[in-house]
Amino acid sequence: MDKAIQLERLAKTYGRRRGLVDLTLDVGRGEVFGFLGPNGAGKSTTIRLLLDLIRPSGGRAVVLGLDPRRDAVELHRRTGYLAGDFTVDGRQTVRECLAFLAALRGGVPERRVTALAERLGLELAPRIRSLSKGNRQKLGLVQAFMHEPELLVLDEPTSGLDPLVQQVFLDLVREARAEGRTVFMSSHVMSEVQAVADRVAIIREGRLVTVDTVSSLRERAVRTVELHFDGPAPAGEFEGLPGVTDVVAEGPRLRCRIAGSPDALVKAAARHTVTGLLCEEPDLEELFFAYYRNGGGDDRVTDA
């Protein structure tokens, strides 16, 4: 079994409302997998299906080689889960809550728990009711990581965390990968996924839009290119080149957006004297929004 998660035409409807439509997806063991989509895309639905909190209305899921429904207890033993709206009983203290959850898992070394809490800057003494949102989220992270599970399923793990703690979280994910564990994390924020994920899936309105490695998504990404000429920028020659859009000329400066191969652009520029060239590293955020806007992957370029 080299797949941590296998989804085959997994579907979920809530009454007549769409939740998820025919999602087919594989996540390999030891992979860090980013799961991206806008609000209401179906990320939490997918994640809750993986954990048998809700049942599919079609298709099937195999997680760690197990059937989430039949082998729920075994699966949960080997999984760490952080819910999108992580909730605990506010009457417990942090320590009490972690002790209880650890006991449900048959015990977790206390050293590991306190070390995790310390790294994230989570105090153990306060009552949970009195914690801020970010501190509550830290508690959620500690309980998900503390038993060093084979599979981590994290629904918007960084929501509410300050940038410093987000970095600690990313370190935790990298360490998990280094130890061969699998991480499946959802997010709206491309940058955090980009920083750690091997592959990324984008879903929208319950449907899978694309699955790809971060590096090839980056290749397909739209970049902004800025060229400086020794005379007025010949904007006309660049309009209509394959993959080139949004051409703006301002004196000797020309800005445009390029998707895919920059070959045609470079050859067009070579006919003039180029005094400066600036190519912005594509931000997947941009790609992400391009997918949102157009509702599809490959027709994006021609639509834009």
Ligand X SMILES: Nc1ncnc2c1ncn2[C@@H]1O[C@H](COP(=O)(O)OP(=O)(O)OP(=O)(O)O)[C@@H](O)[C@H]1O
Q: Out of Mg ion, another protein, ligand X, none, which partner does residue 37 contact, by CB within 5 to 8 A per kind?
A: ligand X
Least distance between another protein and beta carbon 146 (Å)? 9
292, two tokens: 């949102």
Using DSSP's 3-state secondary structure scheme, residue 117 falls into: helix
Residue from the set 21, 23, 41, 153 that interacts with ligand X by CB under 6 A: 41
What is the contact mask toward ligand X in residues 55 to 84, using x (rule: CB under 6 A)? -----------------------------x
CB-based burial of residue 201 (10 Å sphere; 0-12 exposed, 13-18 middle, 19+ buried)? buried
For another protein, which is the closer residue by CB, 103 or 164?
A: 103
Residue 172 and residue 83: Cα distance in Å, rounded? Answer: 17
Provide the greatest CA pair distance for the chain: 74
Task: Report if residue 158 touches ligand X, rule: CB under 6 A.
Answer: no
For residue 3, which of 36, 34, 25 has the smallest C-alpha distance?
Answer: 25
Q: Restricting to residues 167-226, which ones interact with ligand X according to CB under 6 A?
A: 188
Q: Which residues, at least 6 apart from 175, have a Cβ–Cβ distance to it below 8 Å?
A: none
56, two tokens: 């599919």
Q: Out of ligand X, Mg ion, another protein, none, which partner does residue 149 contact, by CB within 5 to 8 A per kind?
A: none
Residue from the set 44, 79, 158, 182 that interacts with ligand X by CB under 6 A: 44
Q: Restricting to residues 26-85, which ones interact with another protein according to CB under 8 A?
A: 48, 51-55, 72-74, 76-77, 79, 81, 83, 85
For residue 19, which of 51, 53, 56, 62 has the smallest C-alpha distance?
Answer: 56
For another protein, which is the closer residue by CB, 142 or 221?
A: 142
261-270 long-range contacts (CB < 8 A, ≥24 apart) are 262/223, 262/225, 265/225, 265/238, 265/241, 268/237, 268/238, 268/241, 269/227
Least distance between ligand X and beta carbon 39 (Å)? 4
Q: Which residues, at least 6 apart from 95, have a Cβ–Cβ distance to it below 8 Å?
A: 124, 125
What is the contact mask toward another protein in residues 124 to 163, using x (rule: CB under 8 A)? -------------------x--------------------
Positions in the binding site for another protein (CB under 8 A) = 14, 48, 51-55, 72-74, 76-77, 79, 81, 83, 85-89, 91-92, 96, 98-111, 113, 143
Positions in the binding site for ligand X (CB under 6 A) = 14, 17, 19, 37, 39-45, 84, 188
